[in-house]
Amino acid sequence: MSIKGLEIFYLSILLSILGFKVYFRYFKSLLPKHVRDYGPKTHLVKEGVPTMGGLVIVLSTLITTIFLSFNKTTIMLLILMLSFGLIGGIDDYLGIKRRLAQPSKARYKFTLECIITLGWLFLVKNYGGINIRHNFLIIHPTNPFWVYLLEILFVVGMANAVNLTDGVDSLAGSITSLVLLFVVFTIKEGSITNISLAILGSVLAFLFYNAHPARLFMGDVGSLFLGASIGGIGILSGKEWLIFILGIVFILEAFSVMIQVAVFKLTGRRILKMSPLHHHFELSGWSEPQVVTRFSLLTLVISLLGVFINGITR
């Protein structure tokens, strides 16, 4: 890690700390979270906890990157991340205004995210000066249709997987931090390392307030921003396969929802007590800190495999 990388990391933490102080002083009473009444009953105590703390993560990352690592690669990443953050922010605002946990229909959000990602890929390819290598390790498509389709599904899938994981105090933030840490020490590409450190610093500051019992939630503005950042990093580094491995928890969370829905529609039965996966373990007797600790341990164990594979594929 370079000296500039350290400067970026610590500036991001500092800006986030200042940002959260401003947030708690002026905005927390304006942004209450509304909890799903069909989730675990233990989560009903979270009603009214302030949300949209992800705004501080977004602003801290943006300011730090602009001042210390502003180039074509980081500009491209910021465009993608801010676009997804905006979608999440609008959804959060509507949820607060309408007092609903899920104010927007998922299919509308999904469609918009796909359109934005397609436009972003076109922008990167034609104006970003960045070669998209689309490396899924065992899949190397050459047909433009399949390339764009896989990359869109990769970004949108990762963004929504992080969003689904954000259902237990500090879970999404902890797993994202581990993923970014491994990105920093595995991918080792200047611009990607720098923006990863900027995001990492802001997320770590957020976790101070999001630790159980949470005083603050990141909201969709934060989770979609973080998910898009991880997806974008995978594409611009040409190591989508590595992000799949590092983000194994995100993948499991997303697939748990898809499998639960598919099986229920086909058979009328549920294979999990509740989806996403973390809710299943909560209803099985795990506390929220246990879920976070054990999912983090899984991330560490599987990520070492990713580091090994990365070493032999260089």
Q: How confident is the model at residue 41 (pLDDT cuts 50, 70, 90)?
A: low
6-39 tens-digit pLDDT = 999 999 999 999 999 999 988 877 677 766 655 6
Domain that holds residue 261: 3-312
Nearest-angstrom CA–CA distance, 230 and 87: 17
Q: How confident is the model at residue 104 (pLDDT cuts 50, 70, 90)?
A: low
How is residue 38 annotated by DSSP? T
215-262 tens-digit pLDDT = 999 999 999 999 999 999 999 998 999 999 999 999 999 999 999 999
- Domains held by the chain: number: 1
Q: How many CB atoms lie within 10 A of CB 252?
A: 16
Region 170-181: mean pLDDT is: 97
User: Do 212 and 292 touch, CB atoms closer than 8 A?
Assistant: yes
∠ CA 58-135-294, nearest 5°, is 55
- 3-class secondary-structure state, position 49: coil
pLDDT of residue 107: 81
Nearest-angstrom CA–CA distance, 184 and 178: 10
What's the mean per-residue pLDDT of the chain?
Answer: 90
Region 57-81: mean pLDDT is: 95
Q: How confident is the model at residue 96 (pLDDT cuts 50, 70, 90)?
A: confident
**Measured in whole angstroms, how far is the alpha carbon of residue 184 from the centre of its chain?**
16
Q: How many CB atoms lie within 10 A of CB 146?
A: 12
∠ CA 3-16-183, nearest 5°, is 50
Nearest-angstrom CA–CA distance, 127 and 47: 45
Q: Which amino acid is at 192?
A: I
**Phi, psi angles (nearest 5°) of residue 32:** -80, 140
**Whole-model pTM?**
0.93
User: Do 50 and 28 touch, CB atoms closer than 8 A?
Assistant: yes
Q: Give 140's contacts (C-beta < 8 A, 6+ positions apart).
A: 134
pLDDT of residue 98: 74
219 Rama sector, left if φ>0, alpha if ψ -120 to 50, beta otherwise: left
